[in-house]
Chains A and B, each alone.
Chain A
Amino acid sequence: MPTFSVRAHKDTRSGFGAGLLALGEANNEVVALCADLTGSLKMDAFAQKFPDRFFQCGVAEANMMGVAAGLTIGGKIPFTGTFANFSTGRVYDQIRQSIAYTGKNVKICASHAGLTLGEDGATHQILEDIGLMRMLPGMTVVVPADHDQTRQATLAIAEIDGPVYLRFGRPKWPVFIPEDLPFTIGKAQTLVQGKDVSIFACGHLVWQALQAAEMLAQKGVHAEVINMHTIKPLDVEAVLGSVGRTGCAVSCEEHNRYGGLGDSIAQVLALHAPRPQEFVAVNDTFGESGTPDQLLIKYGLAPSDIVSAAERAIRRKG
Chain B
Amino acid sequence: MLMSETAPVKAQDTPIDELARICGQVRRDIVRMTHGAQSGHPGGSLGCTEFMVALYFRILQHDPAQWDMDGRGQDLFFLSNGHISPVWYSVLARSGYFPIKELATFRKLDSRLQGHPTTHEGLPGVRMASGSLGQGLSVAIGAALAKRLNGDDRLVYSLHGDGELQEGQIWEAAMFAAARKVENLIATVDWNGRQIDGDVDDVMPLGDLKAKWASFGWDVLEMNGNDLADVLRTMGNAHGRTGKGRPVVVLMHTEMGQGVDFMMGTHKWHGVAPNDEQAARALAQLPETLGDY
Q: Using a CB–CB distance below 8 Å, which chain A residues touch chain B?
A: 31, 52-53, 55, 57-58, 60, 62-76, 78, 93-94, 96-98, 101-103
Docked complex Cα distance between A276 and B124 (Å):
50
**A63 adjacent to B143 (CB under 8 Å):** no
Q: Among B72, B120, B175, which residue has its beta carbon within 8 angstroms of that of A74?
A: B72
Q: Which residues of B contact A78 (CB under 8 A)?
A: 142
Docked complex Cα distance between A291 and B98 (Å):
59
Chain B contributes a number of interface residues (CB within 8 A of A) equal to 39
Q: Which residues of B contact A76 (CB under 8 A)?
A: 146, 149
Q: Which residues of B contact A55 (CB under 8 A)?
A: 145, 180
**A98 adjacent to B172 (CB under 8 Å):** no
Docked complex Cα distance between A93 and B135 (Å):
9
Q: Which residues of A contact B139 (CB under 8 A)?
A: 66-67, 69-70, 73, 98
**A73 adjacent to B176 (CB under 8 Å):** no
Q: Which residues of A contact B129 (CB under 8 A)?
A: 97-98, 101-102
Q: Among A52, A60, A73, A97, which residue has its beta carbon within 8 angstroms of that of B172?
A: A60
CB distance from B122 to the nearest CB of A (A): 10
Docked complex Cα distance between A96 and B71 (Å):
23
**Can you list 30 A-B pairs, Cβ within 8 angstroms, ordered by A?**
A53-B149, A55-B180, A58-B172, A62-B169, A62-B172, A63-B169, A63-B176, A66-B137, A66-B138, A66-B142, A66-B169, A67-B139, A67-B173, A69-B128, A69-B142, A70-B144, A73-B69, A73-B76, A73-B127, A74-B70, A74-B146, A74-B152, A75-B146, A93-B135, A94-B169, A96-B132, A98-B129, A101-B120, A101-B129, A102-B120
Which B residues from 105 to 153 make CB contacts under 8 A with A?
118-120, 127-132, 134-147, 149-150, 152
Chain A contact residues: helix, strand, loop or mixed: helix
Q: Using a CB–CB distance below 8 Å, which chain B residues touch chain A?
A: 69-72, 76, 118-120, 127-132, 134-147, 149-150, 152, 168-169, 172-173, 175-176, 179-180
**B70 adjacent to A75 (CB under 8 Å):** yes
CB distance from B176 to the nearest CB of A (A): 5
Q: Which residues of A contact B180 (CB under 8 A)?
A: 55
Docked complex Cα distance between A97 and B136 (Å):
10
CB distance from A38 to the nearest CB of B (A): 15
**B152 adjacent to A63 (CB under 8 Å):** no
CB distance from A237 to the nearest CB of B (A): 30
Q: Which residues of B contact A102 (CB under 8 A)?
A: 118-120, 128-129
Docked complex Cα distance between A74 and B145 (Å):
9
Chain B minimum-CB-distance residue to A63 = B172
Q: Which residues of A contact B127 (CB under 8 A)?
A: 73
- Other CB < 8 Å A-B pairs besides A70-B142, A98-B138, 4 of them? A60-B175, A70-B139, A74-B70, A74-B150
Chain A minimum-CB-distance residue to B146 = A74
Q: Which residues of A contact B71 (CB under 8 A)?
A: 73-74
Q: Which residues of B contact A101 (CB under 8 A)?
A: 118-120, 129
**B176 adjacent to A71 (CB under 8 Å):** no
Q: Which residues of A contact B150 (CB under 8 A)?
A: 74-75
Known A55-B145, A97-B129, A101-B129; contact A70-B140, beta-carbon cutoff 8 A: yes
**A71 adjacent to B143 (CB under 8 Å):** yes
Q: Among B72, B130, B132, B146, which residue has its beta carbon within 8 angstroms of that of A70?
A: B146
Docked complex Cα distance between A68 and B152 (Å):
18
